[in-house]
């Protein structure tokens, strides 16, 4: 199986969620199911149905998190010393059509949040930036059409 890159912070967030699900959410839903069972007829028991559905969601999420954590390749951007864009880089760019500057940090799938400037390493923009240096142009296909950015600065950590 393919390793999944993530930052130490992203890895920690997944571990915390897994712990929350296993130690708090799972025991609570088991208790909720037991309480609902005590109310009698399960065929018309909405509380029981809701608790069982919640249990299914929790168990599926636990399996998903365990898989992601097991495949994680934790990469600490603070340890990277490169003049090229790589995973974990924070890249300042200027849009060559609009002259608008933006800053993006290349992160793993679970950490991506475009509103915070955190882009998925597998996104078209990240793929266009990776391997480039300051002064290089990165062209990529955006939802609104072809875009071109010039790289102004690259930092790590």
The structure tokens listed for 127 are 């793929």
- CATH code for the part of the protein at 4-74: 1.10.287.180
**pLDDT 10s digits, 58-85:** 999 999 999 999 999 999 999 999 999 9
**Residue matched to tokens 């599926």:** 60
* pLDDT above 80 for 40: no
Hey, how many other C-beta atoms are within 10 angstroms of the C-beta on 95? 13
93, 111, 151 from 104: Cα distances, Å = 8, 13, 11
Confidence of residue 46 (pLDDT cuts 50, 70, 90): confident
Given this model, what pLDDT does residue 97 score?
A: 92
CATH number of the domain at 77-155, out of 3.30.70.930, 3.10.50.30, 3.40.50.2300, 3.30.470.20?
A: 3.10.50.30
Given this model, what pLDDT does residue 74 score?
A: 95
**Cβ burial, residue 140 (10 Å; 0-12/13-18/19+):** middle
pTM of the model: 0.81
Given this model, what pLDDT does residue 144 score?
A: 87
Give the three-state DSSP class for 87. coil
Taking the domains of the chain in order of start, what are their residue ranges? 4-74, 77-155
Given this model, what pLDDT does residue 31 score?
A: 95
């Amino acid at each position: 199986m393919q390793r999944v890159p993530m930052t130490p912070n992203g890895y920690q967030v997944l571990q915390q969620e897994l712990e929350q699900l296993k130690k708090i959410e799972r025991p609570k839903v088991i208790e909720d199911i037991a309480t609902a069972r005590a109310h009698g007829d399960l065929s018309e028991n909405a509380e029981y149905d809701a608790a069982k559905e919640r249990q299914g969601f929790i168990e599926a999420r636990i399996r998903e998190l365990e898989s992601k954590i097991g495949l994680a390749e934790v990469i600490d951007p603070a340890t990277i010393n490169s003049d090229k864009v790589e995973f974990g880089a924070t890249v300042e760019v200027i849009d060559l059509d609009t002259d608008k500057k933006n800053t993006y940090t290349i992160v793993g799938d679970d950490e991506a949040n475009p509103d915070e400037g955190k882009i998925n390493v597998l996104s078209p923009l990240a793929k266009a930036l990776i391997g480039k240096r300051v002064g290089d142009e990165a062209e990529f296909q955006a939802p609104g059409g072809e875009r071109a950015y010039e790289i102004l600065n690259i930092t790590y950590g």
